[in-house]
Structure 1
Amino acid sequence: MKFICFECAREYPVAHPVIYRCECGGLLDTVHDWRHTDAEQLRRLFDMRRADRHTPLSGGVWRYKELIHPSLPIEHIVTKYEGNTGLYEHELLRRYTGVRRLWLKAQSENPSGSFKDNGMTVAVSHGLWLGWERFACTSTGNTSSSMAMYAALAGKEAVVFLPAAGVSLNKSLQTEAYGARLLRTEGGYDEGIRFLEQYAGQLGLYVCNSINPLRIEGQKSIVFELAHDLRWKLPDWIVLPGGALSNASALGKGLEELHRIGLIESLPRVAVIQAQGASPFHAMLRSERRQLHPVLSPDTVASALNIGNPPNWPKALRYAIERTGGVTASVSDEDILAAKSVIDRSGIGCEPASAAAVAGLRKLVADGTIGPDETAACILTGHLLKDTEAIVKSLSAGIPAGRYPAAAATAIRLDAEHVARALQA
């Protein structure tokens, strides 16, 4: 295992003093040697670990340690047994999207409530191995709460650069509750990333954003576990939201590795869904450019997608789009909130960014990109309670939201006649 520059192929050892970009400016990629890997032996090993409880390798990330960070000493693993998330089918959602069969992988069930835990356990564990004391990130909310949780678990300090606007109150409160030091900053996520890339070393901060290649390695486990859940036979499509594009990069990379090793027989296609107010990756591909033009003022109800200059777009382009024959789509806030209401009514629930995946799948079926006879899995990235402001917005906008209006209804007298009348309304 080694780090290789994504642009010029210069090599760095995994225990190298931490850098996040090559001297040429390219992102670092983690490369493994799979030449002597036995797929059948790995299947048996993963099945055995899945039956374990409360061991460092029993969670849904470190179960696949050989495919993620084989050289990390087990005693440095910081884990809350993340992963092991639910995989759900629901007829309401299948009919809503229009595919033959649909699964939803609820990464919202992770310990901090989002998919970020899959990558953060690896990034923090690696930083602990290297001896770091202060862990940092810039965040629109999910990254910060996940990093703060793992830093606290490891007994280390967490420093979070949080945009002054556009971040869910729930997420910032969760981050503070874990003991992180929050620095409210001018500008957004993109400015925060640029600052950390320039000054993190000088300030003694170990960066846990997705420019850290170990974050990507951990997030691959989402697709590893999905394949394991489905007995190593994946659906035709995997559909996920795209903000910083770390997940698109990770899942595309993970799929390629599963296929190369022989754990799956064929590659599914990946669909990356962005919100219309923050869709520079989709705009790039639609125009057939190969250089991303940032959105200077991203704006979407899906706060986790409110990123105008996604740092991982070159990796997402190669791994999710080019290698799998993937596609992108852009959906409106109205489409996102409408899909969210259906996901919530199904009993699964999610934050708006997650709902972008279901809204995007519905759109891709409607325009013929995905056929009605095909199968799909949508990745739900964040918990319903991550962004309660969005529920209020969906009600005030008049978007159907199942039984939510009852929460805001005028109080009634508690007698049989009045209750019966309310139930008929």
Structure 2
Amino acid sequence: MARAGLIARYGDRLPVTAATPRLSLGEGGTPLVRVPRLGAHLGVPNLHVKVEGMNPTGSFKDRGMVVAVAKAVEAGARSVICASTGNTSASAAAYGAAAGLEVVVVLPKGAIAIGKLLQALIAGARVVAVDGNFDQALAVVREMAEDPDHPITLVNSVNPHRIAGQKTAAFEICDDLGRAPDYLAIPVGNAGNISAYWAGFTEYAEVGIVERRPRMLGFQAAGAAPIVLGRPVEHPETIASAIRIGNPASWSMATTARDASGGRIDAVTDEEILAAYADLARLEGIFCEPSSAASIAGVRSLAESGKIESDALVVAVLTGNGLKDPDTAERTAGAGFIEASADADAVRRALGW
């Protein structure tokens, strides 16, 4: 039997109608994994990770994209457009292809991890690289989406259907745990995802499925931390390309989630992100993309400073798959493989046995 997608599973909690196509690539239902070795290393024994890299295109974007594209089809759209740091383009291209739509992607030239760019291209998206950063690319596509002479639907997270779809990850966490976590840690780039999780936890609390909501912990890269600084960053820079955003479109919603939950949004350095990225792989065997590891780096920082209780139930969201950014993995992996002749004694000697 084919796996039910998010629209089929959570349709009663999504803005869909009988006329909305039941589009799906099998998104959602991603693993919530307890990570005891990493948790002990960080001083957070009850640490879990939500592995969103197990979605069809390898990131959390699929949750919102399936709803946004399905609603675009319902409205009669023939094409969709997005700006992207990579994951949105991959997701839009895949779901647009499945729905038979033209997909246009505008992205900052030379600033996209190769795995993500290839995903968009292989799915047939028309990709335009511009001389500028993500924020400038987003301004371009917002203007194009308002052009009455060339109708096209914008599917960035400023589209409310994206946020609606992404809140389903919060539903799944509560369904798996039987409660909400004490803390939800998440990377923050364009800030739609932290807003979506908060909406999901709030909805479950309002209907009595959970008794309380978590404190929301958002983490920006130090070189792209406009919410932490309280001002836009004109030239954001970080190894974590997926959150290399200087003026988040969902800024106000993110700060509302932070404040209403009694949480915080902090910055972590690239060095902290890469250390968390390596620790997660080496201690737990989970390979995420660098931006995902911002959530782990943030948990480490708060635990070390005593801001997360040792008995707290913490869920850290891993937003994307490590295979999307092989270049960073290659640089981080260290010495690489060992060469030896094809006999057991030579291999033993190479290993120092």
In the superposition, the TM-score normalised over structure 1's length comes to 0.80
Q: Supply the AA of the counterpart residue of 2:347.
A: V
Alignment of 1:85-234 (within 5 A): 85-202=30-147, 203-231=150-178, 233-234=179-180
Q: How many corresponding residue pairs? A: 350
Contact 2:216 2:262 in 1 (8 A): yes
Q: Distance in 1 between matches of 2:185 and 2:17?
A: 31
In 2, Cα distance between the equivalents of 1:423 and 1:204?
Answer: 62
Aligned to 1:360: 298
Q: How far apart are residue 75 of structure 1 and its match?
A: 5.2
- Partners of 1:349 and 1:136 in 2: how far apart? 30
Residue type of the alignment partner of 2:302: L
How do residues 225-264 of structure 1 correspond to structure 2 at under 5 angstroms? 225-231=172-178, 233-264=179-210
SS in 2 for 1:382: coil
| Cα deviations by residue, 1:370-402 (Å, 9 ceiling, x for unpaired) | 1112120011100010111111332xxxxxx4x
Q: What amino acid is the match of 2:279?
A: V
2:155 & 2:318 partners in 1: Cα distance?
Answer: 21
What residue identity is the alignment partner of 2:342? L
Determine if contact 1:252/1:323 at 8 Å carries over to the other structure: no
- Asked if 1:406 is matched to 2:343, the reply is no
The amino acid that maps onto 1:389 is: D
Match of 2:350 in 1: 422
Deviation of 1:60 after TM superposition, in Å, equals: 4.3
Structure 2 Cα separation of the partners of residues 343 and 212 of structure 1: 33
Amino acid at match of 1:260: E
Match of 1:391 among 312, 329, 333: 329
User: Contact 2:66 / 2:95 at 8 angstroms: preserved in 1?
Assistant: yes
User: More relative contact order in 1 or in 2 (CA 8 Å, sep 6+)?
Assistant: 2
Query: Cα offset for 1:328?
Result: 1.4
Shift of 1:100: 2.9
Aligned sequence identity (%): 39
Could you report, residue by residue, the CA deviation over 1:58-78 in whole angstroms, capped at 9, with x for unpaired residues? 234541111122x42265121
| CA apart distance, 1:113 | 0.3
Query: Alignment partner of 1:272: what SS?
Result: strand
Aligned to 2:319: 381
Q: Distance in 1 between matches of 2:28 and 2:144?
A: 32
Counterpart CA distance in 1 for 2:134 and 2:159 is: 15
Name which of 54, 61, 80 aligns with 2:2.
54
State the partner residue of 2:258.
321
CA shift, 1:94, in A, is: 0.7
Give the whole-Å Cα distance in 1 for the aligned partners of 2:64 and 2:8. Answer: 11
- Quick check: 1:112–1:145 contact (8 Å CA) kept in 2? yes
The letter for the 2-side match of 1:249 is S
Runs of 4 or more consecutive aligned structure 1 residues displaced over 4 Å after TM superposition: none
The DSSP-based 3-state class of the residue aligned with 1:146 is helix
Aligned residues of 1:77 and 1:121 also touching (Cα < 8 A) = no
Q: Which runs of 5+ in 2 are unaligned?
A: none
1:332 aligns with 2:260: no
The answer on whether the counterparts of 2:234 and 2:246 sit within 8 Å (CA) in structure 1 is yes
The amino acid that maps onto 2:2 is H
Shift of 1:80: 1.0
Shift in Å, 1:84:
1.1
What is the CA-CA distance between 1:424 and the residue it aligns to? 2.5
- CA apart distance, 1:417: 1.9
- The Cα offsets for residues 160-199 of structure 1, whole Å up to 9 and x where unpaired, read as 0011021101110111001100011111110111122222
Distance 1:418 1:356, change over 3 A: same
Q: Is the 8 A contact 2:184 2:316 kept in 1?
A: yes
Q: Which amino acid aligns with 1:334?
A: E
- Tell me the CA shift for residue 246 of structure 1: 0.7
In 2, the alpha carbon distance for the partners of 1:61 and 1:264 equals 22
TM-score, normalisation: structure 2? 0.96
The aligned counterpart of 1:28 is none
Three-state SS of the structure 1 residue aligned to 2:261 is coil
Q: Which residue of 2 aligns with 1:45?
A: none
Q: Quote the Cα distance in structure 1 between the aligned partners of 2:172 and 2:19.
A: 20
